[in-house]
Structure 1
Amino acid sequence: MNLRTLRTFVEVVRQGGFSQAAEVVSLTQSTVSKAVKTLEDDLGTPLLNRIGHRSELTAAGAIVYRRALVLLAERNDLIAEIKALRGLECGVLRIGLPPVGSGALFAAMFTEYRARYPNIEIQLVEYGASKLHECLESGEVDLAALLKLKSFNEEFYYQDVRIEPLVVVIPKSHPLAENISVNFTDLADTPFILFEAGFALNAVIQAACERKGVTPKVTAHSGQVDFIVDLVSAGLGVAFLPRMLAQKHLHHGIRLVPLDEPETDWHIALAWRKNAHLSPAAEAWLALAREWPGSEGRPGHSV
């Protein structure tokens, strides 16, 4: 039994005969007769009483006809729902973003995405890098914005979003505040203010310090950029932020000095699992990210 056979049977009933049904379903009359006979054989009972050129439903036929209408309607609804999903008339975008820099990078994109696809539900989670990795691996989110490191997970595909140099957020009174640039050797005796554990930017800074043979003196950790900038302004130490983010948190008590260190760029990429099927909603987000002004996005590829 299949849906095509059921549709043929339904048309026989609707049209009142085999020849009329054959025209509707674009089959020969003999093929229609065979389809109904096959259905009767499968169910083990006659479905039609053939009276001359007319056919009447048996009691079993009435049940099959009623159930077939429901099944065929469900099939049509299924096709319509899939078409709507592909056409982005419905669906869900499940995306994970880091707390640092997401507003600067993605807020306007969310506005544009909502304007283009108003019926897509957006499910957003915000975590540090390690938790975002877990969410992506477990399938809790379809896409995650991650800081791209050398140890970037090989189970993921990625699409670049933005590459920004780091700047040193330094107190206005610091001796190096007027420098054209500084490196970690220059800052060896200056306390650092870093992000909380789980933030990938810490790993970038610590790895660069190790390459220089510098052991940073960490005086504070925080997950809030505003608070970090306030701590710097108060003279507690120096901090490190992507340039575009630092410029949004300018303060009269600080200076922004370029960090002259290799392999310390803030490199954000959208990542997704290689073995996952991306939803149309997620594909649409990737497409928008590729066309967004300032994006480094290119078609997805693996690291």
Structure 2
Amino acid sequence: MEIRTLRAFVEVVRQGGFSRAAETIFATQSAVSKAIKQLEDELGVPLLNRQGHKSSLTAAGEIVYVRARRILAERDALLSELDDLRGVKRGVLRLGLPPLGTATLFAPVFAAYRSRYPQIEINLVEHGSGMLEDLLRAGELDLIASLLPVSQEFDWQELRREPLVVLLPESNPLVERPSLKLVDVKELPFILFQSGFALNRVILDACKRNGFEPNVSVQSGQVDFIVELVAAGMGIAFLPRMIADQRDHALVRAITLAEPQTDYHIAMVWRRGSYVPHAARAWLQLSKISAV
């Protein structure tokens, strides 16, 4: 069993097809097909159900996919650890960031990191926190940014804590209040982020603690679009104060949400007990300085 065949198989599954997998690993589609066939012959079981241009995992393929991801992650960790032992300041930082707040929090860190470590390649993955935690758990990422609390299988370093604000149309009489609780707005339609965003969990859990389920009118992954929806009277939305301050809108007011356990509390997260490569430790140090 060779690393190249495992990598080809993992990328076919991850990219959803042979052609995109070939682009990802800089190989021809024919070479990828041969690698998958070689792996299936070696294991003696089919790994993919091929249906035209689409393919899905067989039961055996599901098992091999999970194990292959772990093997590849362990190989990458081994190489990183040996590089650190040799004092090599090159390498790869495998970093996962959520879309919300990335520009505000991490652009300065990226600039400082690139200036200080120009030979380290940054492989950035942007997803909601749930997907990022799965990738971290599988060993495919070294670090992710996620809202606290996180599972006890992870360690974390705090980055920032911000209150949430409620975005309301300027015409809503509640804008005259200095702060709001969720019970004050429970009858209004909610505009939430898409399901992969950790901020949704914060809001929905808080609603549950207050004994109601909100009426969700729209879900989106775009902050600017959400602000415009509020301005158009489609409902109310919730943002961290630092992000709301950057989206000033003449028809929208931001009122502090005075609700326990709803702060935007974000941290850098890694697997507890795992080896943290030099590239990742350097990012942690710079992000800690930036958070001060």
TM norm structure 1? 0.67
Structure 1 unaligned blocks of 5 or more: 1-77, 296-303
Identity of aligned residues (%): 50
Match of 1:257 in 2: 255
In the alignment, the residues of structure 2 paired with residue 104 and residue 219 of structure 1 have an alpha-carbon distance, to the nearest angstrom, of: 27
Alignment of 1:18-97 (within 5 A): 82=83, 86=87, 88=89, 90-97=90-97
By how many angstroms is 1:87 displaced?
A: 5.2
Which residue in 2 is equivalent to 1:245? 243
Structure 2: which 5+ runs fail to align?
A: 1-78
CA gap of 1:94–1:174, structure 2 versus 1, over 3 A, is same
CA contact (8 A) 2:84 2:278 kept: no
Matched with 1:191 is 189
Paired letter, 2:117: Y
Superposition RMSD on alpha carbons, in Å? Answer: 1.6
CA contact (8 A) 2:160 2:266 kept: yes
Indicate the residue corresponding to 1:102 in structure 2.
Answer: 102
For the 8 Å contact 1:169–1:256, the answer to whether it is kept is yes
- Identify the residue that residue 167 of structure 2 maps to in structure 1: 169
SS in 2 for 1:271: strand
Do the aligned residues in 2 keep the contact of 1:191 with 1:216 (CA within 8 Å)? yes
Question: Which amino acid in the other structure matches residue 122 of structure 2?
Answer: I
Equivalents in 2 of 1:96, 1:122: separation in Å?
10
- Corresponding position of 1:140: 140
Quick check: 1:281 aligned with 2:276?
A: no
CA distance in 2, matches of 1:237, 1:103: 26
Q: Partners of 1:84 and 1:129 in 2: how far apart?
A: 32
Q: What is the DSSP-based 3-state SS (H/G/I as helix, E as strand, rest coil) of the residue aligned with 1:219?
A: strand
TM-score, length basis structure 2:
0.70
Corresponding residue for residue 115 of structure 2 = 115
2:57: which partner in 1? none
1:292-303 to 2 correspondences below 5 Å: 292=290, 294-295=291-292
- The CA deviation at 1:86 is 3.2
Secondary structure at the counterpart of residue 185 of structure 1: helix
Q: Which residue is equivalent to 2:59?
A: none
- Tell me the number of residue pairs that the alignment of Structure 1 and Structure 2 aligns: 212
Partner of 1:224: 222
